[in-house]
Chain A
Amino acid sequence: MRPRENDRLGPHAVSVRGAGVILDGNQIIAGIDLDVATGEWLTIIGPNGAGKSTLLRTLGGLLPFAGDIELFGTPLGRMRRRDRARLVASVAQDPVVPPGMAVVDYVLLGRTPYIPALAGESAADRDAVAKVLARLDLERFAGRRLESLSGGERQRVFLARALAQGANLLLLDEPTSALDIGHQQDVLELVDKLRRDGGLTVIATMHDLSIAGEYAQRMVLMAGGRVVASGRPRDVLTQDLLARHYQARVRVIDGEQGPLVVPVRAGD
């Protein structure tokens, strides 16, 4: 942790009071209250349609909302787009892969909030890209076309673009849903290392509850557009809560890093 930086940024990375989002006349999320400490990893879980991705996109400044949201002490609604992009970086659930684009050019897109709209990138931007590529062990892929990479390699590149933004808050929407378990662990360990080393704050949505519980310091369970439970993984990942909100039959086992959630078939 870097206390001096945390002081500068305020005690909370994210502070949400009574936030709601209406899309096409439908109330997608409502009455959300949420605080995320700087350097914390918060994972949002919940059944399909609970509003997890909507909340994440709202925090990223991509949706109009009601209520109050502050990022590092500054109201989100009053931020200029470029300023916001320097504070918060998002990795979409299924990022667009631009045809023919080289990895190095894709990662350079992360420098957009630092490059004047009609100018070219500076040496500092190229340097930042080189550093991120080195940090994520992507240097040998720099000249490769993005679509020629495997799923796990691609996910690292998506992450690299977000890190190139130099933002202190990282929003990950289902970061591992396209990966096998080995690559899931690989990517999540990487994010956790960046969080611990770099003071990054991480908010992620995830479907795999066991893995979610192992990496999150705190969890939020959403259902029907609202937060229905929050707390440490062992407080949220309970058989009772999961049965009620997922309509799922599960067994929760104590694991070394947190509760492990195992779906079990009815009738035993």
Chain B
Amino acid sequence: MRVSGVEPARLRVRWIAAGVAAVLVALIAGLALGPVGLNPGGVFIELIDLIPGVSLHSGLSPSEQAIVTQLRLPRVCLGLLVGAILALAGGCYQGVFRNPLADPYLLGIAAGAGLGATLGIIGGHAFELLPGAGGSGTPIYVPFAAFAGALVAVTLTYALGAAGGSARTPAVLVLAGVAVTAFLTAGQTYLQQRYVETIREVYTWIMGRLTTAGWHDVLLVLPFTVVTGAVMLAYRRQLDVMSVGDAEAESLGAHPRRTRLVLVIAASLGTAAAVSVSGLIGFVGIIVPHTVRLMAGSSYRVILPLSAMFGAAFLALADLGARTLTAPDEIPIGVVTAFFGAPFFIVILRTSRRL
């Protein structure tokens, strides 16, 4: 008798299909387009051919195959991973702080990572550890320095936010993030003024870019993406519970503070790993979860998985734009995401009644 009853929110097959399709489109486009244009069908067959046990002939020449599998595939994969984790982390922060404007940058993580990277680059010069100008990959210690900086920043923010005692609210934590960001940015600016000779290198990093350094960075970021991504997705229903506030969530038998701690750590670790290989890429963590929310509903059970998929596709396509729009020069990918993302975000804000 209740056949037409309204069911609780859940991930519909058509949305999963749309997400997978978006990732596939981004993947194929990212592999096929570039200084050497390739046939998308051939690229697709080449991809299938990479699956162990499958042997197909794609019709691509050996050098074209090398472009696909050795040059473009690692970079596209890096874009997919970074995009997925940034979007996922953004969705988590919005849920955990019940703040639609929260994103990986709110808690000072980006500023901390930036300062860490700057210190790493300056230290590298001081000890002459840096390879000659224009090295292809991120020097191994720079990601770790960024990573350490991000962790210091989020710890500072959390400690500062927790100092509020019983008056601790999500808003207090967000304010703490603002203070930490201001402090760390001041340190960053000071260092850039002081060490002008390295400013160009830092600047490149700050604006965000994906490297073409083969699989090195992909393998660096992959374990963090998988582990933190799994944690964030596992807690997606808890985020729905937290949407009624800490007091009501507690009365429902949930542990909102524990959930917040776990998710802040997971999202921050994931963000730091992403930032350490890609630099500071803004807007992904805000645009993607909000767009998903507008399309597929407000439940985090739906928002988080879809954000991961559409975030991956969005960043891979943004990177495609970054390296093809002004070829042979590259635009920093952070500029691309901001350039397309900001107006897009404003349109969403203006046309939406559901935010």
Q: Hey, which bits of chain A sit against chain B, CB under 8 A? A: 23-24, 57, 60-62, 81-86, 89-90, 92, 95-96, 98-102, 104-105, 108-110, 112-113, 115, 117-121, 126, 129-130, 134, 139, 142-143, 145, 165
Contact = CB atoms under 8 A, between A and B. Distances in A.
Interface residues of B, number: 34
B306 to A, nearest CB: 15
A102 B5 contact: no
B236 to A, nearest CB: 9
Interface stretch (B197-205, B218-226, B241-249, B336-344): B241-249
B123 to A, nearest CB: 41
Given A62-B250, A105-B9, A105-B299, A98 B244 contact: yes
B237 A90 contact: no
A120 B5 contact: no
Interface in B176-234: 234
Interface stretch (B125-133, B252-260, B317-325, B327-335): B252-260
B293 A84 contact: no
B64 interface: no
B251 A120 contact: no
A105 B240 contact: yes
Interface in B272-298: 293, 297-298
A61 B8 contact: no
A112 B252 CA distance: 6
Given A115-B237, A120-B237, A142-B6, A96 B243 contact: yes
Interface of B: 2, 5-10, 100, 166, 234-235, 237-238, 240-241, 243-245, 247-255, 293, 297-299, 301, 354-355
What is the predominant secondary structure among interface residues of chain A facing chain B?
A: mixed
A81 B244 contact: no
Contacts of B2: 130, 134, 139
Contact of B8 (A86, A98, A117, A121): A121
A22 B154 CA distance: 32
Contacts of B166: 23-24
Nearest to B298: A100
A126 B9 CA distance: 11
16 contacts: A81-B253, A81-B254, A83-B253, A85-B251, A85-B252, A85-B253, A89-B251, A90-B248, A92-B251, A98-B298, A102-B6, A104-B6, A105-B240, A112-B241, A115-B237, A142-B5
